[in-house]
Chain A
């Protein structure tokens, strides 16, 4: 019997893409990973619509309405959903805006900035509605695993993925959950 590859989807919500960079930091192990899994929708592929997947990996927190829709779709289509990195787990640095009124943040950038012309707050219907606060993703859907770090190192990701694919309990060594 030919063993079929597991399907993995990834996305970055309100994050900086650093967790995805850490995934690419697997370096040569990317070739081993490609033997075991097949990528579905991800910033690394041109697939724009999410299929039925075994594993979904989410970077970033929730900052606007589109983030919420994407997260709900990932939860509905992925058997296992993983919060990768500080922003997905706690909102991270972008959640620092939670201390201020959203309006104040927008005005700082678009009406009080330096050297502005046509100062105004962008409001086109093409721009998704911002939430007043940035939220961690477990406040919106059930999360199966939390992978800590800003970003989690490639070694952490590799330990996690290897144990998950082998059906083992996840146990990260101390060195991989030790930070700056």
Chain B
């Protein structure tokens, strides 16, 4: 763990805040403590919102879970919808749901992965690749991409739209659908819906391969930067199919260490509480999970696209498998630890999702009419785990004899990456900011590091108080303002004349 988590002594340090983080889903902020020589002494990513789902879900009937708990997050509601549905199946003692139900749920989930990966790359992160670091702040967004790269933007919009339509056909609506119910789903696909989706599927695959080309070209143009920026060596956690294939919907838990050695494998996810712990730190509402056997200092890990590609033995769809091999060759036998490669891995999964959707669309089971398995209400626990777009998502509930929820424990995907995101911003702070006078392009690099993880801060707590970026260098003892940077409405960073009054310390 980096020594920048907590400054050794906080005298004479100045607070710098990046608040709110932008072009990420939800709200978070980063604070830096800097000394007089511009040396970074502390760097932290804070999640500052709290919602209390684990409490207010108590006393609610089990069948509400898939529709209520998905309101944690409007970006990946399907993941919460399905993780909750999988847990509810267990609450009712249902071991297996009908093949049609499982395939419709999978279709919904791959549609979700497609739309979520597309929205993150095209609508939020693509300016980090397409424009320079010191690009004008007002231009560095999706509207700028629409103006300068209309083809890329249009393909991004349509890829996301395609994923959203898969969700609409399977869940009833695009955001906060109702398709998954206890024991199965409430509709299968009609032939007409299937045919509508099949029309563009090959075009989607082609576009997603184009994006991978763009990604590889960006890497080849600047391999030194790409390889080292925000990169940290970590453990990895994900679900894995019984045969070692990438599986986003179901599997056992696999954890690898930084050399690629197995920590645990094919572990029944209902035993997650035996292998994972969560540390609470006073400065963030987001907890810090770690692998129990390794302890909090060495046991933290990464989840999400990079972890899944690192962890799996192969991908079961041919085009994505080809891309995976090319990607993994860079690691020379070790896992890929490159943080910016999250984007690359995400686009491999985008392609895989499209291939998986096509396979499912051609499977006659999706037209079936056996949709639900029956269960019974009796006191039980249910644990639903799924690979959400951002990583492994855990829903754990206990139900009483009346079918009401008594206890809930949720570990959302982004929470798993909490320590890793903190370590990455510390690496960037140390390597690129340390000793320099802080400017907007430098601070933007911190955000580029966070953005690579595609954090969903909505899930991890959520939305936010948006304040102007206001960087103050304050003398610790006297509280006197020694330097002040402000990002104004036009997004320009300027030095503010020192006010006469004493500055307020952070």
A: residues with CB less than 8 A from B are: 11-22, 24-25, 27-28, 30-31, 34, 38-41, 43-51, 59-60, 63-67, 69-70, 92-94, 96-97, 99-100, 102, 104-106, 108-110, 113-120, 122-128, 130, 150-151, 153-154, 180
Specify which chain B residues have a CB less than 8 angstroms from the CB of A123 in the assembled complex: 282
Report whether A118 and B281 are in contact in the complex, using a CB–CB cutoff of 8 Å: yes
Q: Within the assembled complex, what's the spacing in Å between the Cα atoms of A121 and B175?
A: 32
Do A46 and B279 contact each other (CB < 8 Å), given the known contacts A12-B463, A18-B77, A25-B174? no
List residues 131-165 of chain B with CB under 8 A from any CB of chain A. Answer: 137-138, 140-143, 146-147, 153-154, 157-158, 160-161, 164
Q: Which residues of B contact A64 (CB under 8 A)?
A: 48-50, 465
A46: chain B residues at CB < 8 Å are: 22-23, 137-138, 140-141, 444, 447, 491
Which B residues, 105 to 147, have Cβ-Cβ distances below 8 Å to chain A? 119, 123-124, 137-138, 140-143, 146-147
Beyond A12-B464, A13-B463, A66-B467, whether A30 also contacts B146 by CB under 8 A is yes
Q: Assess A12 versus B27: contact at CB under 8 Å? Given A19-B74, A124-B282.
A: yes
Task: Please name the 4 residue pairs, one residue from A and one from B, whose CB atoms are nearest each other, closest first.
Answer: A66-B465, A18-B74, A105-B52, A49-B468
A-B contact pairs, 23 of them (CB 8 A): A14-B463, A16-B71, A18-B74, A20-B74, A22-B174, A25-B161, A34-B143, A43-B24, A46-B447, A47-B137, A48-B491, A60-B462, A70-B465, A97-B51, A97-B55, A99-B56, A105-B54, A115-B273, A122-B281, A124-B283, A127-B284, A180-B67, A180-B173
Residues 459-495 of chain B, each 1 if its beta carbon lies under 8 Å from chain A, else 0:
0001111111100000000000000000111110000
List of A residues within 8 angstroms of B409 by Cβ: 113-114
Most A CB contacts (10 A, CB to CB) among B52, B56, B68, B469 go to B52
Total of A-B residue pairs, C-beta within 8 Å: 262
Q: How far is the CA of A97 from the CA of B469 in the complex (A)?
A: 31
Do residues B56 and A105 form an inter-chain contact, with CB atoms below 8 A? yes
Q: Give the contacting residue for A104; candidates B31, B55, B140, B142; CB below 8 A.
A: B55
Q: How far is the CB of B383 from chain A (nearest CB, A)?
A: 10
Of chain A, the residue at the smallest CB distance from B75 is A17
Bound together, the chains give a CA A41 to CA B50 distance in angstroms of: 23
A66 CB to nearest B CB, Å: 2
For the side of the interface on B, what is the size category? 35 or more
- CB of B73 closer than 8 Å to a CB of A: yes
Give min CB distance, B255 to chain A, whole Å. 15
Q: In the assembled complex, which residues on chain A have CB atoms less than 8 Å from the CB atom of B287?
A: 110, 113, 116
Quick one: which of A13, A114, A150 has the most chain B CB within 10 A?
A114
A115 touches B23 (CB 8 A): no
- A46 vs B20: C-alpha distance when bound (angstroms): 9
Nearest A residue (CB) for B147: A34
Q: Is A109 a contact of B54 with CB atoms below 8 Å?
A: yes
Contact: B74 with A151, CB < 8 Å?
yes
- Closest A residue by C-beta to B290: A117
B280 touches A118 (CB 8 A): yes
Q: Are B466 and A48 in contact (CB under 8 A)?
A: yes
Q: Report yes or no: A14 in contact with B157, Cβ–Cβ below 8 A.
A: no
| A34 surroundings in chain B (CB, below 8 A) | 143, 146-147
